[in-house]
């Protein structure tokens, strides 16, 4: 079964279907095929599509919104929300396993974006990926016996992954971190 390592950066944490709800502004995916080949995708939503008046300063600061390519005069990897939704339709056509650090939030946001763009029915009976979302943070908690509020870096260090080696809160860097923690958990499980 193919694996998708997914992370998003959003404009807030408010549910996306509520007025002023969060919007994806960066989506990153690493797709691992059954033979181990990997392809990385990194996309940013066009600024004009974002309701930044409803964004929270905290979310934009934590996600380092200032690095959005369009704010720095770069158009590479900037696309419409619809193009991001279409990419996710393409990447999930074979119901891959979804792995993330908060996969239920990210999967909800992606599914909502797909639905907004008419790419999945609002009353769809199923999701386009395997329903068993894998959260590496939950797996780390089970492995380390640290409290649920423990620092993620402290937890990942217990399986040999140094979080400080990644530009955390950049969706692409976060997907590499998630991938490396997932792989380390599988190695240390044996």
Domain with 154 in it: what CATH number? 3.30.420.10
**Best CA proximity match to 163, nearest among 98, 101, 97, 99:** 101
Residue 125, pLDDT score: 62
Residue 180 pLDDT greater than 90, yes or no: yes
* Rg value, the chain, Cα: 16
Poorest-pLDDT segment among 40-44, 55-59, 119-123, 152-156: 119-123
CA separation (Å) from 78 to 25, 83, 158? 10, 10, 36
Number of domains forming the structure of the chain: 1
pLDDT band at 190; cut points 50, 70, 90:
low
Q: pLDDT (tens digit, 9 = 90+) per residue, 122-132?
A: 776 677 888 88
pLDDT band at 5; cut points 50, 70, 90:
very high
- Domain span including residue 121: 3-188
Give mean pLDDT, residues 82-104: 95
Residue 77, pLDDT score: 93
| Whole-prediction pTM | 0.93
Residue 36, pLDDT score: 96
Residue 56, pLDDT score: 93
């Amino acid at each position: 079964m193919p694996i998708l390592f997914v992370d998003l950066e959003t404009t807030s944490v408010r549910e996306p279907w509520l007025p002023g709800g969060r919007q994806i502004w960066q989506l990153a995916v690493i797709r691992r095929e059954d033979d181990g080949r990997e392809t990385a995708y990194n996309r940013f939503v066009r600024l004009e599509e974002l309701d930044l008046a409803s964004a929270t300063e905290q979310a934009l600061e934590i996600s380092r919104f200032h690095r959005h390519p369009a704010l720095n005069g770069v158009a590479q990897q900037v696309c419409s929300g619809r193009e991001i939704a279409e990419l996710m339709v393409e990447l999930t056509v074979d119901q891959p396993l979804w792995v993330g650090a908060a996969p239920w939030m990210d999967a909800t946001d992606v599914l909502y974006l797909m639905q907004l763009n008419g790419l999945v029915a609002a009353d769809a009976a199923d999701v386009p990926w395997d329903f068993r979302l894998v959260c590496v943070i939950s797996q780390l908690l089970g492995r380390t016996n640290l409290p649920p509020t423990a620092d993620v870096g402290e937890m990942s260090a217990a399986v040999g992954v140094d979080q400080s080696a990644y530009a955390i809160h950049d969706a692409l860097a976060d997907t590499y971190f998630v991938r490396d923690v997932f792989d380390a958990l599988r190695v240390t499980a044996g």
